[in-house]
Amino acid sequence: MEAGTGKPTTTMMCTLLAMDHTGFCYKVCSVCERTLPDNPDSRCKLCNFNASNSASSASKRLFRILMSVASDTKVFTVICFDRVAKVLFGCSADEFFDFAKIHPFAAATASKILEGEMFKITLSKPKNGNAQHLRVVQVFPLRTGFQPAIETLKEFYGVKSGS
Ligand SMILES: [Zn+2]
């Protein structure tokens, strides 16, 4: 799923206007990364069929975030997947999900923290017909002193790093 295999990409400066923090991650099989339904006992049928040890962690979460961004000429919606979202959040989707369980407003606060930040983003056009949004394949924060949302959140909620 890496970009850079001859797919057309565009790089531009933009400002993050808003983030859809209501569904920032999705559940996948921890082995084959197929998408799983978001209920507590959803398991990958393919992998569990072969796994004798069903106690091993069956699922994990990955980021998938819709964001509204503004370039110098237009406002548009893009989608960020796990690798890019980690740059913005500074942790894995699982870590963030656990953090958000203890701090229910963490996702909303994270989007507030990131709103207004300037980024240099590389976008790729979706090739398949069912993907309706441009996809962010690379993101570089432009502000000196930018810190990922989780760092600001930990300061905000008084959580010490590394504990
Ligand atoms: Zn699987």
CATH of the domain at 101: 2.40.50.140
Domain that holds residue 81: 9-25+64-157
Provide Rg for the chain, Cα atoms. 17
State in Å: Cα 3 to ligand 1 middle: 23
The distance in angstroms from the start CA to the end CA of the chain is 34
Q: Which residues of the chain, if any, have pLDDT below 50? A: 1-4, 55, 163
State in Å: Cα 122 to ligand 1 middle: 30
State in Å: Cα 30 to ligand 1 middle: 7
How far apart CA 118 and CA 14 sit, in angstroms, is 6
How far apart CA 105 and CA 102 sit, in angstroms, is 9
Stated length of the chain: 163
**Cβ-based neighbours of 82, under 8 Å, separated by 6 or more:** 62, 63, 64, 93
Give the number of C-alpha atoms closer than 13 A to the C-alpha of residue 24, restricted to the C-beta side.
26
State in Å: Cα 60 to ligand 1 middle: 11
Task: Classify residue 34: in a domain, yes or no.
Answer: no
How far apart CA 62 and CA 127 sit, in angstroms, is 21
Q: What is the pTM of this model?
A: 0.85
Instruction: State which residues have CB under 5 angstroms from ligand 1, the bound ion.
Output: 29, 31-32, 44, 46-47
State in Å: Cα 97 to ligand 1 middle: 21
State in Å: Cα 46 to ligand 1 middle: 5
Structure confidence at residue 57 (pLDDT): 65
Q: pLDDT digits over 36-64, tens only?
A: 988 877 788 888 655 555 545 688 999 99
Q: What token pair was written down for 64?
A: 């998938």
State in Å: Cα 29 to ligand 1 middle: 5
Task: Classify residue 41: in a domain, yes or no.
Answer: no
State in Å: Cα 115 to ligand 1 middle: 35
Instruction: Work out whether the CA dihedral 74, 79, 83, 87 comes out positive or negative.
Output: positive
State in Å: Cα 45 to ligand 1 middle: 7
Query: Phi, psi (5° rounding) for residue 145?
Result: 85, 10
Q: What token pair was written down for 67?
A: 């964001």
Q: Exposure of 65 by Cβ count < 10 A (0-12 exposed, 13-18 middle, 19+ buried)? A: buried
Task: Classify residue 3: in a domain, yes or no.
Answer: no
Task: Classify residue 59: in a domain, yes or no.
Answer: no
| Identity of residue 114 | L
Task: Classify residue 38: in a domain, yes or no.
Answer: no
Task: Classify residue 117: in a domain, yes or no.
Answer: yes
Task: Classify residue 147: in a domain, yes or no.
Answer: yes
Number of domains forming the structure of the chain? 1
